[in-house]
Structure 1
Amino acid sequence: MWRRGANLEGATANFVETEQLVEDEGLTSSFIQVPGSIPLLWEQIVDLSYKLRLSIIEHEGTPKVVQRHFFDLSQRYGDTVVIDLTDKRGDEGNLSNAFAAEMDKIPGVRYVHFDFHHVCRGGNFDNLQALYIQNEGVIQKQGYFLMNSKREILLEQIGVVRSNCTHSFLARKSLDSQLLRMGALSSSESISLSENINDTLKKLWVEHGDELSLEYAGSYALKRDLVRYGRQTLPGLIKDGTSALSRYYLNNFHDGMRQDALDLISDYYTVSQGRPFQIGGFESASYLPVASATIVGGITATTFTLSQVERNAQYFISIICAGLTAGVVALVKANEKQFCSRPRLCSLI
């Protein structure tokens, strides 16, 4: 819930193996992809801000972290293609540049940066075709898994694409090849020409995105309409706004406790005589509702008294209300990190 990037063993946050399975007349085929957080040491500390600052942790072990991560991928999946879709500007650009520098030191792994925000702006995911053409040969070489009704393996997938936001597109490309090999499509056909299959596939990947988002962020995925319809709709915008607010609330006021719970049940934190389960202390988060009510009440009182000014004494009341409100705002701002729900059992690295 709170972790970003990788730990010192090379395991990354938000790492998921996704397998798309298809069966037809006794044949079974699958295609695997993996997303995950950029495998560097970096963090985004919750501090009541809507858009969190990203900072890279300077650590002498960073090269080893990246090496361990991709060694593990090669042992599991074989050849790896890394597609980096991060923005090249601001904090995200710094992270992307640091990632590219580390990838130059990793032999045998294909690293590709694709300016997703620029090329696919406006939600035009079809422009990912340019990315696919650029890497078509190596992705097709990785292939997919195919087994007949006698459980004899006809083909094996010998590599994997590690990326975010491209899964449904690459899965669609692979599915065309799979169905062609299985005899379900002719060389002149594509699933995009079948409205039923096309709609089913889009719905499947929207639900997949929702499941992952609920697991990690506690809300439905954002921009679901772009996958489902290829465009943003008004109901979709409303749902996105609701999901964004839900994520903000959970991230600031619940995810610290949820991280502790995950660390406890996964045995990442072990309760022992030397490490008791003790998270007591000053709970400033419990004072946030009081602070919020004071700020809202102060703004309301200031506005009301100013609108009702008839005597000089009311100016004095307005100044008191405004001063109290400003003081509480300053107090919250100065202690913004302490007002958030923070994990206490384990370090973030």
Structure 2
Amino acid sequence: GTRFLKRGTNYKGAVANDVETEQIVWEVSNSGSLNSGKFSAFVQRRGSVPLFWSQDSMHRGAPMVVGKPPIVIDRVEPNALTTAIHFQDLRRKYGHPIIVLNLVKRMEQKHNENLLHDNFCKTIQYLNQFRHSGHCIDYISFDVSRCNKTGRVLQQLDRLGQRVVLATGWFQNFPSLKFRDPSNLNSIPFGAEDIVYRFEPEMSSDNRMLLQHGIVRSNCVDCLDRTNVSSTIWFRKAALCWQLFSMGLLDCPSPQSLNNEFCRSFEELYDEHGDTLAWQYAGSQLVHSIKTYKRTAVFQERSRDVLQTLSRYYSNTFSDFEKQDGINLFLGTYRLV
């Protein structure tokens, strides 16, 4: 669906802008065949906050509020049944742990982001009352916008990414775990040493492959700009470092060990990935890219951000209803009024 017309969850626990992204690394063998060589993969999920909420300031034919409309919690379920169904589906597909990274602003009141943040937090706390110890939903609240004002947001995301990636692991079609070798202790990134040796890899039944267990589920309000920069790019860069290190292609599993040109290409790849999702859901490219948070080429990036904001506003105002009708027609859910 489209941005302001599809928010939150339906009664089956399916959420808006729900996207699974898999990052695959393949060490090409001499033969170049897909049947040989080392493979590694890391899966992550994004999706709207699984509550009944909306941000629709208009009905067809009515004037639209300039800027973002306020967030409204449409229904509060006393037993959080629909949210529970959503997380049961994630657990059934990916296993444990389920790590929720909530990037919604905690202090913002103008558009009621804090209302959405607090309701999601309370719902997770309620559901965790009924989970066995060690099998609760792991909830992380990270206010990217507020942290970005300190200029240290990327460093904090780097440390957080290291811990999250090692909590779920990743898939690889070879059993060796180079980082478990004591001789490699000095190459472990600072702050990750404690979790590395508590990392319990899940192996296949024949002990020939390492399996990813659990999933990182991230969201902001739109699941676009903040989600793409914070969780997708930075967490996937952390995952990439561990994937390459485990393959023996990096001496240290730290983003600082990656070649600058390689990092630039990697970030551009995921910016393009985010742009594709943003065009479908919001009608523009990403408003804030990784360069916005790195504070490089500030004037050019601010000019770009303004243009994308205007493009997004135009799409949301004048074309989203028709786009939504087309999506509904394609899905067979279109209803004549």
Return the TM-score normalized by structure 2. 0.73
Cα distance in 2, alignment partners of residues 49 and 61 from structure 1: 34
The equivalent residue for 2:114 is: 93
Q: Compared with structure 1, are the counterparts of its residues 41 and 62 closer, same or farther at alpha carbon in structure 2 (3 Å cutoff)?
A: farther
The equivalent residue for 1:114 is: 142
Letter in 1 for 2:82: V
Which residue of the other structure, out of 91, 94, 97, is the alignment partner of 1:77?
94
Alpha-carbon shift at residue 231 of structure 1 (Å) = 3.0
SS of match in other structure, 2:167 = helix
Q: Compared with structure 1, are the counterparts of its residues 62 and 154 closer, same or farther at alpha carbon in structure 2 (3 Å cutoff)?
A: same
Deviations 1:275-319 (A, max 9, x none): xx534xxxxxxxxxxxxxxxxxxxxxxxxxxxxxxxxxxxxxxxx
Alpha-carbon shift at residue 120 of structure 1 (Å) = 2.0
Letter in 2 for 1:70: F
Please list, as runs of the form range in 1=range in 2, the aligned pairs for 1:128-143 lying within 5 A after superposition.
128-129=156-157, 132=160, 136=163, 139-143=165-169
Structure 1 residue 147 and structure 2 residue 173: aligned? yes
SS of match in other structure, 2:46 = coil
The equivalent residue for 1:237 is: 302
Alpha-carbon shift at residue 227 of structure 1 (Å) = 6.5
Q: Compared with structure 1, are the counterparts of its residues 278 and 188 closer, same or farther at alpha carbon in structure 2 (3 Å cutoff)?
A: closer
The equivalent residue for 2:328 is: 263
Cα distance in 1, alignment partners of residues 67 and 232 from structure 2: 27
Which residue of the other structure, out of 19, 23, 29, is the alignment partner of 2:22?
19
SS of match in other structure, 2:139 = strand
How big is the alpha-carbon RMSD for the aligned residues of Structure 1 and Structure 2? 2.6
Q: 2:165–2:235: 8 Å Cα contact kept in structure 1?
A: no
Structure 1 residue 31 and structure 2 residue 42: aligned? yes
Q: 1:3–1:13: 8 Å Cα contact kept in structure 2?
A: yes
Structure 1 residue 127 and structure 2 residue 155: aligned? yes
Alpha-carbon shift at residue 80 of structure 1 (Å) = 0.7
Structure 1 residue 202 and structure 2 residue 249: aligned? no
Structure 1 residue 105 and structure 2 residue 131: aligned? no
Cα distance in 1, alignment partners of residues 151 and 326 from structure 2: 36
Question: Where in structure 1 are there 5+ consecutive unaligned residues?
Answer: 270-276, 280-349
SS of match in other structure, 1:105 = helix
Q: Which moved more, 1:21-30 or 1:120-129?
A: 120-129
Cα distance in 2, alignment partners of residues 241 and 11 from structure 1: 32
Alpha-carbon shift at residue 192 of structure 1 (Å) = 4.1
Q: 2:17–2:48: 8 Å Cα contact kept in structure 1?
A: yes
Deviations 1:150-187 (A, max 9, x none): xx952111011111232111111111111111111124
The equivalent residue for 2:84 is: 67
Q: Compared with structure 1, are the counterparts of its residues 187 and 50 closer, same or farther at alpha carbon in structure 2 (3 Å cutoff)?
A: closer
Cα distance in 1, alignment partners of residues 99 and 90 from structure 2: 10
SS of match in other structure, 2:273 = helix
Please list, as runs of the form range in 1=range in 2, the aligned pairs for 1:222-301 lying within 5 A after superposition.
222-226=287-291, 230-231=295-296, 233-269=298-334, 278-279=336-337
Q: Compared with structure 1, are the counterparts of its residues 230 and 160 closer, same or farther at alpha carbon in structure 2 (3 Å cutoff)?
A: farther
The equivalent residue for 1:186 is: 251
Deviations 1:106-147 (A, max 9, x none): 2321111123222222775413347617x81x5413100112
Return the TM-score normalized by structure 1. 0.70
SS of match in other structure, 1:57 = strand
Question: Where in structure 2 are there 5+ consecutive unaligned residues?
Answer: 29-36, 58-63, 129-135, 175-205, 219-226
Q: 1:83–1:112: 8 Å Cα contact kept in structure 2?
A: yes
Size of the aligned set, in residue pairs, is 269
The equivalent residue for 1:54 is: 71
Alpha-carbon shift at residue 263 of structure 1 (Å) = 1.4
Q: 1:225–1:231: 8 Å Cα contact kept in structure 2?
A: no
Deviations 1:4-27 (A, max 9, x none): 111111111111001111111411
Cα distance in 1, alignment partners of residues 299 and 172 from structure 2: 41
Q: 1:20–1:31: 8 Å Cα contact kept in structure 2?
A: yes
Structure 1 residue 3 and structure 2 residue 29: aligned? no
The equivalent residue for 2:214 is: 159
Cα distance in 2, alignment partners of residues 253 and 102 from structure 1: 35
